[in-house]
Amino acid sequence: MHLSRTMLWTSMVVAALALQAPGVARGQETGGFVRTQPENMKFVDVEGGLGAQQAILEGDPSKPGLYVIRMKFPPGVMSRPHTHSQDRLAVVLKGTWWTGTGPDFKPETTVPVKTGGFMKHPKDGVHYDGAKDEEVIVQIIGMGPVTSPRIRPAEGGYGYSIKK
d(CA 138, CA 118): 9
Write down the pLDDT at residue 61. Answer: 97
Is the Cβ–Cβ distance between 54 and 148 less than 8 Å? Answer: no
Q: What is the 3-state secondary structure (H, E, C) of 6-42?
A: HHHHHHHHHHHHHCCCCCCCCCEEECCEEECCHHHCC
Confidence of residue 27 (pLDDT cuts 50, 70, 90): low
The reply to whether the predicted model has a pTM over 0.85 is no
Residue 26, classified by CB atoms within 10 Å of its CB into exposed (0-12), middle (13-18) or buried (19+), is: middle
Candidates 65, 68, 46; CA nearest to 56 is: 68
| Coil, strand or helix at 8 | helix
d(CA 52, CA 134): 13
Per-chain mean pLDDT for the chain: 86
